[in-house]
Structure 1
C-alpha cells in the first residue's frame, strides 16, 4: 500500500500508541423498544432517548443492537466488498475516482494522504447527487455527482443500493432519537435530508508490516450529521475519550453498528453534542473490512445552531455555513490545491 511518510513516523500526535484502553465505557444501546413505536411517552422509549442523549454528550459515540437491519443484507454487502478488493489493482483502478468522477475506487498510493493504510470504494446514495459546481461563494451553478460501478462482482451494485436504503432508514430512526434527546420534535431533522448528499464507503485495510508506524485512518472528526459503521471482527477503531484524551479501542460487537456524532450535529446542538476524534489502527497479520455510511443533508442546507437551542443566555456559537459549498470544497481538495484552506467547523465559530 506504499511507503509510510517518514514525517508521519516522527509525529507523536498521529503515531498510534502501543498500549490502549479497552472500550468498556462506550455505550451499547438496545433499540428493540423502538421497533414498534417511537412515542416518547413510552417508558422504554424514554429510556432509550436518555441513553442516546447521554452517549452523544459524554462520548460522541455509541453502539446499537436490535437495530432492524437484516443480517443477511449486511452479510451480502460484506461478501461483495471482499470480492471487489480481492481483484487485481488493474481491475479496481478501472473505476478509480478523479476530479470529474468523485466516487469510485482509490488507494493510499494515489492520494495526497499517504498516512492512510487502506483502499476504498465510495458510492453516493442519491443518484445523481446534486451539488454546487464549485466552492466559490458567488457561483450559483450546480452539478451532478454519479457513481461508477465495476463489472465485477456483478451483484455489487444491487447489494450496495439495497443496503444503502437500510442505512437511510436506520439514520432517520437515530436522528429522531437524537432530536428527542435534545427536547425537539422527533421529525425535527427530517427536512434537512430530503435531497441528501449522503454516501457510503467500502473499506479494506491490508495487513501492515509495521503497524506501529502507520494508521488505517489518521486522527479525524466526521464532517456530516451521523456516521453508521459496520466493522468486522478484526476491529481497530479507536475513539479519543473526552474526559482524559485517552484512545479507547471499540471492540467488535456481533451484528452491532457503531454510531458517531458528526460536526453538523455539533453545530445544530450548539456544542451540547460534540464530534470527537477517532482513528483506525492496522493489524500486522489480518486484513480488516468496514463499511461506514455518512449521513449528509441536502446541498442547499445552511448549517447553523437551531433556534430552539439558543437564547440570550446560550447564544449561537457558530455562523451559518453552506453545506454544499463546504462539501464541494472538501471533495475538490482531494484532487487539486484550492485557493482556500480545507474547511473545518471551527472556521465558523463565533468568538466569545
Structure 2
C-alpha cells in the first residue's frame, strides 16, 4: 500500500484538469508483405514523427497470457507490505513511491526486473524469496513468457520501422534490442485507487511524473484503466483512451538519437483519479551497455547532413539519466 505524508501528497498534487482525448494512430503488425505492410510502415513512421506514440494491433500476444500476468501482478501487490518489501533488490525488485534517485515521488508501487535478450528473467533478478517455491516458479514462468512475447513485438516494430525509413538491413535497429547483452527490463507499475477526496482537496495526484523513456522503445499494456497522458509538440496534455486489446508504444530517447531527431521521444505521465487500481506492464527495450549510439548514417540527410547528437555509449547515457529528475531534458548534454 502506498502511504504518503501530507507534505508528500502536496508535492504530487495536480490541478483537477480534464485534458482532451488523444487521437492515437493504430499500426497493424500482422499486415502481410505487400501494399498492406508498406501502408503499416508509413503509418508507423508518421506516428513516430508526429507524436512518438502509437498503438499496435495484430500483435499476436494471447489475451489469456496478458490477463494471467495482470492477475499475478495484482496478487503480488495485494500482499502484506512487509512481504513486498522483502522482494527488494539492487537495482531490481520492489519499490514504493520513490521514482529514481532525483527525489521524484508518485502514487505508485512497482516491480523492476532485468531480462535477457530472449525475454527470460535471470534468477538473480527475480526477487521473490518470500513466496513458496511453487508460486515462484509459476510467477517467473508467466513473466518470462510475457516478456518474450512483447520483446518479439518490439523487434517486429523496429524492423517495420526500418522498412518505412528505407534502412537496410532490416534488423539495423532491432538487433540492438535482440543482442545477447541488450539492456531489456520489465517494469510492472501499480497505481492504487486515489485516496479519499478530503485528502486530495479536489485535486488529482501524480502517479508517475512527466518524463521520456531513455531506451529505444517501450511496449506498454495496462488493465483498461485511464490515467496515461501524453504531451503534444505544443506541450498540451491529452488523455490516452484505455484499450483492452492493443499495446501502446513509446519512442524512447535512444531512438530519437538514432533517427537524428526525426522521431520524437514522447513526454508522458500517469495521473491518478480513479477509484480503480491501475496496473501497467512496460517492456523497456535498451541496447547493450557498451553500444555506441549516434544518428544512423542513412538518416543524416534528414538533418541537412549534420548530426544533432554526439556519439555516446548506452551506459554513459543511462548513468546520466538516472542522476536527474524525471522532467529533465536528458538529451541536451549530448547534443552537438
State the TM-score, normalized to the length of structure 1.
0.82
Q: Of the candidates 63, 66, 69, which is equivalent to residue 71 of structure 1?
A: 63
Give the deviation of 1:207 after TM superposition: 1.4
Which one has a larger percent helix, Structure 1 or Structure 2? 2
Q: Which runs of 5+ in 1 are unaligned?
A: 130-143
SS in 2 for 1:118: strand
CA contact (8 A) 1:4 1:114 kept: no
CA contact (8 A) 1:103 1:146 kept: no
5 Å-filtered alignment, 1:1-352, equals: 1-3=2-4, 6=7, 9=10, 15-23=14-22, 25-34=23-32, 39=33, 42-97=34-89, 101-108=90-97, 113-126=103-116, 146-150=124-128, 151-152=130-131, 153-154=135-136, 155-185=138-168, 186-193=170-177, 194=179, 195-209=181-195, 210=200, 212-242=203-233, 244-311=234-301, 313-330=304-321, 333=323, 344-350=330-336
Alpha-carbon distance between aligned partners in 2 of 1:297 and 1:226, rounded to the nearest angstrom: 10
SS in 1 for 2:36: helix
Q: Give the corresponding residue for 1:137.
A: none
Give the deviation of 1:330 after TM superposition: 4.5
Structure 1's 145 and 159: CA in aligned 2 closer, same or farther, altered over 3 A?
closer
Give the deviation of 1:214 after TM superposition: 2.0
CA contact (8 A) 1:127 1:145 kept: no
Alpha-carbon distance between aligned partners in 1 of 2:255 and 2:264, rounded to the nearest angstrom: 8
Give a deviation string over 1:18-70, Cα, whole Å, max 9, x none: 111012x1112222214xxxx4xx10100000100110011110011111111
Give a deviation string over 1:46-98, Cα, whole Å, max 9, x none: 0000100110011110011111111111111111101110000100011113x
Give a deviation string over 1:176-204, Cα, whole Å, max 9, x none: 11112222122211332312111001111
CA contact (8 A) 2:216 2:285 kept: yes
Aligned positions, number:
316
Alpha-carbon distance between aligned partners in 2 of 1:254 and 1:59, rounded to the nearest angstrom: 21
Give the deviation of 1:276 after TM superposition: 1.8
Q: Give the corresponding residue for 1:134.
A: none
Give the deviation of 1:346 after TM superposition: 1.2
Structure 1's 110 and 92: CA in aligned 2 closer, same or farther, altered over 3 A?
farther
Structure 1's 17 and 247: CA in aligned 2 closer, same or farther, altered over 3 A?
farther
Give the deviation of 1:283 after TM superposition: 2.4
CA contact (8 A) 2:65 2:146 kept: yes
Give the deviation of 1:7 after TM superposition: 8.4
CA contact (8 A) 1:60 1:274 kept: yes
Give the deviation of 1:114 after TM superposition: 5.0
Q: Which runs of 5+ in 2 are unaligned?
A: none
CA contact (8 A) 2:57 2:245 kept: yes
Alpha-carbon distance between aligned partners in 1 of 2:43 and 2:117, rounded to the nearest angstrom: 35
Alpha-carbon distance between aligned partners in 2 of 1:293 and 1:280, rounded to the nearest angstrom: 17
Alpha-carbon distance between aligned partners in 1 of 2:334 and 2:9, rounded to the nearest angstrom: 29
SS in 1 for 2:203: helix
Structure 1's 106 and 285: CA in aligned 2 closer, same or farther, altered over 3 A?
same
Give a deviation string over 1:84-119, Cα, whole Å, max 9, x none: 10000100011113xxx2100010169754531100
State the TM-score, normalized to the length of structure 2.
0.86
Alpha-carbon distance between aligned partners in 2 of 1:48 and 1:343, rounded to the nearest angstrom: 31
SS in 2 for 1:119: strand
Give the deviation of 1:230 after TM superposition: 0.3
CA contact (8 A) 1:2 1:109 kept: no
Give a deviation string over 1:123-148, Cα, whole Å, max 9, x none: 1111999xxxxxxxxxxxxxx99403
